[in-house]
């Protein structure tokens, strides 16, 4: 059984009735509501006809509530208060259930990602960010599938995505085992690493940091391929400690990681650096996504 909902007077007309009752005049009520006096008078007239009741006694000098108008006024005010509360609660719930930005990023940049999430959580209304640590391959696949809204990816930047807020992370140390003779060096250069294996990715795009380093290391015997891409530098420190090879290390990791079995030695190899950018699909742009891009830029400026 479908229950019938009786049509109620429009809130606009109820609001006009309540305003005229407060001011006992159409001019002042119209000014409060931001409408013309004839519009306020017409709204009250429509309400009276819909209800079949006269709400005001009108003379050339004054406007007075009728007995019916005085009896209905508390209900009108309660209806308007309820509508205001309804709208406020709906806005609050909408803010809580707003779009979630799924943010993929390399683990090396976790501090930056967390800072961006905090910035967006403090906005009004807040923007919820779901953090997803991801390597280059996983991040680009998630962007293509729509599983990530936006990602920080390293160069080379995928051409099918829009990329902005590009920045660089210096690679100015090399991780060596704590017991290795190189651990006591004040600085190392590629020409001193002839007898040591260097942990390297298999994918080394031309012009990138790894390709530039490979040119400076003579012969394939001097580096060891550990993965297609190197995204998680901290995890590879276990291989360094085990004596599997040395690892060129970004400054960010040197600043945040302390291990007794690994020593970070300054490494001079011609200004090595990793390049990153914020990437997203041009088909999935939203105000929340662009707010995240802006928050990344702000965080970079204040570092």
- Give the contacts of 176 (CB within 8 A, at least 6 positions apart): 182, 183, 240, 246, 262, 263, 265
| Cα 35 to the center of its chain, rounded Å | 40
DSSP 200-226: EES---TTSHHHHHHHHS-SGGGEEEE
Number of Cβ atoms within 10 Å of the Cβ of 203: 16
pLDDT of 17 = 94
Q: Residue 34 has what DSSP assignment?
A: T
Beta bridge partners of 167: 276
Distance CA 214, CA 219 (A): 9
- Which residue, among 291, 299, 294, has the nearest Cα to 127 in the 3D structure? 291
Specify burial of residue 241 (Cβ count, 10 A radius: 0-12, 13-18, 19+). Answer: middle
Dihedral Cα 201, 206, 209, 213, nearest 10 deg: 80
pLDDT of 28 = 92
Distance CA 120, CA 298 (A): 11
- Which residue, among 274, 273, 288, 280, has the nearest Cα to 140 in the 3D structure? 280
pLDDT of 5 = 42
pLDDT of 96 = 65
Domain ranges of the chain: 11-95, 100-303
Element (H or E) spanning 100, and its range? Answer: strand 100-105
pLDDT of 118 = 95
Q: Residue 283 has what DSSP assignment?
A: G
Q: Residue 4 has what DSSP assignment?
A: P
Structure token pair of residue 154: 């390293």
pLDDT of 224 = 83
pLDDT of 3 = 44
pLDDT of 220 = 58
pLDDT per residue, tens digit, the chain (303 aa), is: 444 445 678 899 999 999 999 999 999 999 998 999 999 999 999 999 999 999 999 988 899 999 999 999 999 999 999 998 998 888 777 666 567 899 999 999 999 999 999 999 998 888 889 999 998 889 999 999 999 999 999 988 889 999 999 999 999 999 999 999 999 999 999 988 878 899 999 888 888 899 889 888 866 557 788 888 888 899 999 999 999 999 999 999 999 899 999 999 999 998 999 999 999 999 989 999 999 999 999 999 876
Distance CA 204, CA 113 (A): 25
Number of Cβ atoms within 10 Å of the Cβ of 221: 10
Top-level class of domain 100-303:
alpha beta
Q: Which fold has domain 11-95?
A: Arc Repressor Mutant, subunit A (1.10.10)
Sign of CA dihedral 201, 202, 204, 210: positive
């Amino acid at each position: 059984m479908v229950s019938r909902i009786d049509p109620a007077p429009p809130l606009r007309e109820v609001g006009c009735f309540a305003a005229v009752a407060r001011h006992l005049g159409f001019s002042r009520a119209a000014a409060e509501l931001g409408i013309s006096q004839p519009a306020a008078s017409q709204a009250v007239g429509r309400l009276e006809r819909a209800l079949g009741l006269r709400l005001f006694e009108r003379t050339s000098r004054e406007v007075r509530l009728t007995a019916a108008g005085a009896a209905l006024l508390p209900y009108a005010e309660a209806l308007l208060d309820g509508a205001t509360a309804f709208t406020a609660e709906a806005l609050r719930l909408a803010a809580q259930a707003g779009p979630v930005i799924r943010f993929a990023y390399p683990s090396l940049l976790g501090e930056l990602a967390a800072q961006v999430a905090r910035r967006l959580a403090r906005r009004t209304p807040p923007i919820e960010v779901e953090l997803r640590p991801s390597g280059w391959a996983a991040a680009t696949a998630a962007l293509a599938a729509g599983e990530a809204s936006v990602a920080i990816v390293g160069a080379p930047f995928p051409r099918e995505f829009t990329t902005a807020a590009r920045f660089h992370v210096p690679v100015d140390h090399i991780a060596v085992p704590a017991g290795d003779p190189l651990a006591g060096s004040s600085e190392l250069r590629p020409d001193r690493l002839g007898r040591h294996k260097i942990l390297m990715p298999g994918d080394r795009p031309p012009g990138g940091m790894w390709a530039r380093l490979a040119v400076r290391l003579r012969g394939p015997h001097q580096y060891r391929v550990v993965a297609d891409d190197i995204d998680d530098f901290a995890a590879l420190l276990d291989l360094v400690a085990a004596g599997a090879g040395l690892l060129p290390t970004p400054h960010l990791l040197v600043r945040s990681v302390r291990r007794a079995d690994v020593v970070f030695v300054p490494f001079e190899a011609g200004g090595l650096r990793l390049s990153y950018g914020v990437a997203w699909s041009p088909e999935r742009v939203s105000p929340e996504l662009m707010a995240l891009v802006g928050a990344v830029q702000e965080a970079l400026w204040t570092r």
